[in-house]
Amino acid sequence: MSTVTTEPLLLYSRTQRLPRIRPRNSHLLNPPLLSFRSKTIKLFSNGASFCNFKPHQRAQPVRDSSTDAAVLNTFQSTDVSFKETFRLTRTQRAEGKIFFRLDQGNDQGTWVLSIGCNLPGKWILHWGVSHIKDNGSEWDQPPKSMRPPGSILIRDYAIETPLKKSSEQDIFYEVKIDVIPKAKIAGINFVLKDEETGAWYQHRGRDFKVPLVDDLQDDGNMISAKRGSCPWKGVLRSLLNIILKEESSASKAQGSISELEDTKQKKSFLQEFYEEQPITKEIAFENSLTVSVWKSPERAKNLLYMETDLPGDVIVHWGVCRDDAKYWEIPEAPYPPKTTVFKNKALRTLLQPKEGEKGCSGLFTLDEELEGFLFVLKLNESTWLKWLGNDFHIPLSGSGGLHSQLGQRQFDVSKAETADTNEEVSPLAYTQGITNQIRNLVSQISSDKSRKTKTKEAQESILQEIEKLAAEAYNLFRSFIPTFSEETVSESEFQKPSVGICSRTGSGFEILCQGFNWESHRSGKWYMDLKRKAAEISSMGFTVIWLPPPTESVSPEGYMPKDLYNLNSRYGSIHELKDLVKTLHEVGIKVLGDAVLNHRCAHYKNQNDVWNIFGGRLNWDDRAVVADDPHFQGKGNKSSGDNFHAAPNIDHSQDFVREDIKEWLCWLREEIGYDGWRLDFVRGFWGGYVKDYMDSSEPYFAVGEYWDSLSYTYGEMDHNQDAHRQRIIDWINAANGTAGAFDVTTKGILHSALERCEYWRLSDQKGKPPGVLGWWPSGAVTFIENHDTGSTQGHWRFPSGKEMQGYAYILTHPGTPAVFYDHIFSHYQSEIAALISVRNRNKIHCRSMVKIIKAERDVYAAIIDKKVVMKIGPGSFEPSSVPARWTLAIERQDYKVVFAAVSSISYLAIVKMTQKGFKTGFDDIIVDSFPIFDGGCVIEPSNEMDNCKMYSPCSF
């Protein structure tokens, strides 16, 4: 669950009337997140415009149409050629209050504590009490006399009570608790939970606390009437001690003091008070947009009518197109009322309020020969609406739009296949036709199947099928392109997949090696050291290696880059880097560069003595720095992500910044030979910019570091980490799938599962892996340690002694596994090599299917692609229930991996691999005594693979 920290706002006296706080005007709230029910709208809230237009340009007024009223009257007499209603759900951030009030009750000596909220929701008070003799902030369940109706016991320390409306007309949700001072209760502790969103609201990061006795320790989370302290309290206490000592013996005096202290501590000092705390919440609103097109033959015009119930001022940013290329044009006048020209490239029309109804509408008169009407909706300067990531395209000619060719469910490639060989077919026309049919098919699914995809189960099933079809389609088209000659294929190359699955995952069978740690810069010759180990890394089965940041940097590790084109770093020179990359390519390993794009250290100070002026080839000024970074006084736009406060945060919304970064990445690809990227601190800028950079540099493999905290409740990790993995998936979506992301969710869950012996955590509520790999495996790069979390930094070190359990998990599961350098060259090397060998032999890839067989307190077991069974944890498990013949691959304390007996690997093949220096990883394999047929020979294994005997068919 997420925790929202609130800060105190106002302190009222009891006589003040409780104000009713309503959400601000909906169109002025923070940018909403919108999604269609039957279609999808992507919302971009960074101020960037669509269609390559800048929205901040001053618009030019044009004349209105004088015939719209007459045109509207012709609607009923014309035929509708197109009509579509887009239903959408948008969320807006509403601001409200949590209030606390303590009043005297009707009975003498009783009090009533009221806790409420003025925002709609399903609010639950999670609360308990602390007794007078309790230490610290211990919780306990309140006595029955204090429990309001409807309360539910939570374990043995708290209860949960729902907040209710006092009346149907009231917007306040409230709960009242009877407080009895004589019950020896020191205070009431609570947090407020919103069951609709799963958010927990606390006070300054701590539980709310209402004290019921004086001298209760205030940890900064106290909610009560404010009372001043007496400066003479210590002096009076000393005088009291002297008087008591004079009147009785020392023992009696001490007893009297203790008794007096105890009496004082139990004495209640309740006072009436009222206090408020601010609260924000995302509230969902339902809206719709309907677009209709009529043909008016007598006027040779198309009439397009648009209406929506979106609140506030809605501006249509629009143009027309004449063919399938969908290039924006400004049509000839007349235009609707309130229309302005934008940069001579588009028009902007303010939709007019509907008389007597909510919402607004607009009528557009368009020439008959136009093919389509293009538009996006502008709600405010930071909120634009698109359709499926593209401009809305409404067909005017009856072809090529949202609903054209919807009945055609299969690719029509027969014409291309049977065409006359002498007739030249345009590649652009062919590819455009294929992509248009794909879009049409998606539109059909979106409109026809929306009612059947309401449940998450159905959606997940469809997504899995789409991923499979995408992989098949990719392989199909790749297979048409010859990539090598059969004569030149070596045996080592033949072992690797020849086709890829998608750009961000390489072949889909990649295994990533992090080729450095936090101290690697110290030698000054790291590139040369790694070059000597290139062949060994390749022989273990790694296909991709991640190298450290190559640029000149203020910090020796490379993560505070300065001159991006200066590649002489603490790891070595640019020439040594090129030599290393060349060597890695020769042994069949792709190379990722560590690209730090979020921030950059300046060369010079500005007139205010602030470091925000850059030198070198990219000599940017303070316009390249975001405006909301308080440390560096940037003059750019506001940041589209979280700020990194140690260096100036770069404003990627600036055109010149993006063009320079794209040029730099392409230069690195060509000059150094990088095959892809590891992207540092991608939380700092919008994922849409990443898509731009990836589209330009075309990496073979790319992965972003999106790292934030998992959900905890009172120091204990929550079982449900859906919100955490959803944030990572949202970033991958924002980057349009051009890069994967490190599966921080899986690492965090492995921490708790292995350290606390809670292996049940490795299965989510639906019986799937609980990390990103359980939802989007091809986008997940799994890992257990890296230079930040382990090494000498140790920010989030994996549980000691449990590392191989972690690798047994990620090297047998889908996703792209990454192995840390320190573990590769350690006593774990042979075990890691054996696990990689099992993964490669059984062709486990980033989309492999996982079936969790067991997830209990002390054991986790799963079967992957029906070929590999793995088990981790001290508990027992044997794959006896699986109807296949299994061979033990590796077994160590607390983990075991077995795989199905394979009949396609012969002793001759193993000899060939060994002769080439390839480590097989079969040292620990015990083979069942059954023959393997291969190429007319029979192999009779004994207990060890090296003792296999080979017979010819006749001798058998």
Is 817:811 a contact under the CB 8 Å cutoff? Answer: yes
Q: How would you class 114 by CB atoms within 10 Å of its CB: exposed for 0-12, middle for 13-18, buried for 19 or more? A: middle
Give the mean pLDDT of 459-470.
Answer: 62
Residue where the block lists tokens 């065409």: 419
Nearest to 710 by CA among 750, 755, 766, 763: 750
pLDDT of residue 953: 32
pLDDT of residue 6: 37
pLDDT of residue 528: 96
pLDDT of residue 680: 96
Q: With 70 as the cut, is the pLDDT of residue 920 above it? A: no
- What pLDDT, in 10s, does the model give residues 479-534? 333 333 333 333 333 334 333 334 577 889 999 999 999 999 998 999 999 999 99
pLDDT of residue 93: 76
Residue 715 confidence class, pLDDT cut points 50, 70, 90: confident
Element (H, E) at 464: helix 456-478
pLDDT of residue 263: 45
Sign of CA dihedral 487, 493, 497, 499: negative
Instruction: Using the CB atoms, write b or e for 158-180: b if 16+ within 10 Å.
Output: bbbbbbbeeeeeeebbbbbbbbb
pLDDT of residue 952: 31
pLDDT of residue 8: 34
pLDDT of residue 30: 39
Dist CA 857 CA 868 (whole Å): 22
- Other C-beta atoms closer than 10 Å to the C-beta of 293 total 24
CA distance to 228, 438, 797, per residue, from 235 (Å): 17, 84, 51
pLDDT of residue 457: 62
Nearest to 884 by CA among 899, 871, 862: 899
Residue scoring higher pLDDT (606 or 806) = 806
Nearest to 40 by CA among 402, 367, 304, 398: 402
Q: What is the pTM of this model?
A: 0.50
Sign of CA dihedral 152, 154, 157, 159: negative
Give the mean pLDDT of 443-454.
Answer: 50
Q: With 70 as the cut, is the pLDDT of residue 252 above it? A: no
pLDDT of residue 598: 96
- What pLDDT, in 10s, does the model give residues 781-800? 999 999 999 988 888 999 99
pLDDT of residue 652: 96
Residue 658 confidence class, pLDDT cut points 50, 70, 90: very high
Q: Which residues are catalytic?
A: 680, 705
Token pair for 124: 């639950």
Q: Report which listed range, 242-246, 464-468, 620-624, is most confident.
A: 620-624
Q: Is the omega angle on the peptide bond into residue 23 within 30 degrees of 0, that is, cis?
A: no
Nearest to 561 by CA among 676, 668, 684, 648: 648
Q: Report which listed range, 108-112, 466-470, 796-800, is most confident.
A: 796-800
pLDDT more than 70, % of the chain: 66
Dist CA 130 CA 139 (whole Å): 5
Token pair for 528: 């040369």
Give the mean pLDDT of 285-313.
Answer: 87
Dist CA 881 CA 452 (whole Å): 36
Helical ranges in 10-160 per DSSP H: 68-72
Identify the weakest region by mean pLDDT among 105-114, 121-130, 586-595.
105-114
Residue scoring higher pLDDT (2 or 547) = 547
pLDDT of residue 379: 84
Is 653:636 a contact under the CB 8 Å cutoff? Answer: yes
Residue scoring higher pLDDT (438 or 446) = 438
Residue 520 is classified by DSSP as G
Query: Helix, strand, or coil here: 21?
Result: coil
Dist CA 174 CA 265 (whole Å): 31
Residue 467 confidence class, pLDDT cut points 50, 70, 90: low
Beta bridge partners of 702: 677
Dist CA 375 CA 377 (whole Å): 7
Q: Are strands 208-211 and 185-194 parallel, antiparallel or unpaired?
A: antiparallel
Query: Helix, strand, or coil here: 254?
Result: helix
pLDDT of residue 698: 93
Strands (E), 468-562: 512-514, 544-546
pLDDT of residue 311: 87
Nearest to 192 by CA among 92, 274, 279: 279
Give the mean pLDDT of 603-620.
Answer: 92
Residue 668 confidence class, pLDDT cut points 50, 70, 90: very high
Instruction: Using the CB atoms, write b or e for 435-452: b if 16+ within 10 Å.
Output: eebebbbebbebeeeeee
Is 32:43 a contact under the CB 8 Å cutoff? Answer: yes
Identify the weakest region by mean pLDDT among 736-750, 825-839, 905-919.
905-919
Q: With 50 as the cut, is the pLDDT of residue 156 above it? A: yes
User: What DSSP string runs through 162-189?
Assistant: E-EESSTT---EEEEEEE-GGG-EEEEE
Q: With 80 as the cut, is the pLDDT of residue 955 above it? A: no
Give the mean pLDDT of 167-181.
Answer: 78
Is 874:790 a contact under the CB 8 Å cutoff? Answer: no
Identify the weakest region by mean pLDDT among 115-129, 201-215, 440-454.
440-454
- What pLDDT, in 10s, does the model give residues 617-646? 999 999 999 998 878 989 999 999 888 888
Q: Report which listed range, 337-341, 358-362, 781-785, is most confident.
A: 781-785
Residue scoring higher pLDDT (216 or 719) = 719
pLDDT of residue 292: 92
Q: With 70 as the cut, is the pLDDT of residue 550 above it? A: yes
Identify the weakest region by mean pLDDT among 430-439, 837-846, 855-864.
430-439
pLDDT of residue 438: 67
Mean pLDDT in the chain? 75
pLDDT of residue 439: 58
Dist CA 727 CA 712 (whole Å): 16
490 torsion bin: left (phi>0), alpha (psi -120 to 50), beta (else): beta
CA distance to 95, 240, 404, 559, 703, per residue, from 596 (Å): 36, 67, 44, 7, 12
Q: With 70 as the cut, is the pLDDT of residue 939 above it? A: no
- Which CATH architecture fits 94-217+270-278? Sandwich (2.60)
Residue 450 confidence class, pLDDT cut points 50, 70, 90: very low
Sign of CA dihedral 871, 875, 876, 882: negative
pLDDT of residue 74: 53
Nearest to 27 by CA among 389, 350, 374, 347: 350
Give the mean pLDDT of 316-336.
Answer: 89
pLDDT more than 90, % of the chain: 41
Largest CA distance in the chain: 123
